[in-house]
């Protein structure tokens, strides 16, 4: 599936993998994020942290009547304020989508799939 944008020059079609890579990269830059989690954690295993090649398994993009809806599945670091980290992810994802791809998301939903203790060595 892909997202279509219309402008005065024609139509731009972006695949969900492109959008997922931008969203995953933006989300993992936030302090307190351990990594991306699979949206189908029962099948894929909740312990798996997705790498850059698999961000599409941790991001769901839907085009609805009111606009683009993005669902982001993350694992946060133990000891961080989950609500604040989630809010930062929402803001950063919205900014990156608009800045990099010209997409305005109608909503960015964050699903915390787990909490991990980070070893600071």
Predicted confidence at residue 6, as pLDDT, reads 81
Predicted confidence at residue 99, as pLDDT, reads 93
What contacts 83, CB < 8 A, 6 or more positions away?
A: none
- What are the residue boundaries of the structural domains of the chain, listed by start? 2-116
pTM (2 d.p.): 0.83
Tokens for 111? Answer: 């699903």
Q: Over the stretch 82-92, which tens digit does the pLDDT of each residue have?
A: 999 999 999 99
Q: With 70 as the cut, is the pLDDT of residue 69 above it? A: yes
By CB neighbour count within 10 A (0-12 exposed, 13-18 middle, 19+ buried), where does 45 fall?
exposed
> Token match 């070893």: residue?
119
CB atoms within 10 A of CB 101: 17
Q: Which CATH number describes the domain made up of 2-116?
A: 3.30.70.1350
Q: What is the pLDDT confidence band of residue 121, given thresholds at 50, 70 and 90?
A: very low
């Amino acid at each position: 599936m892909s997202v279509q944008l219309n402008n005065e020059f024609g139509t731009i079609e972006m695949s969900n993998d492109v959008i997922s890579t931008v969203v995953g990269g933006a989300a993992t830059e936030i302090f307190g994020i351990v990594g991306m989690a699979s949206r189908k954690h029962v099948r894929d295993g909740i312990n798996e942290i997705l790498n850059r090649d698999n961000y599409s398994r941790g991001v769901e993009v839907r085009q609805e009547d009111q606009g683009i809806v993005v669902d982001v599945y993350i694992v946060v670091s133990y000891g961080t304020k989950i609500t604040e980290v989630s809010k930062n992810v929402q803001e950063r994802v919205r900014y990156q989508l608009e800045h990099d791809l010209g997409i305005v998301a109608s909503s960015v939903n964050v699903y915390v799939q787990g909490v991990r203790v980070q070893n600071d060595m």
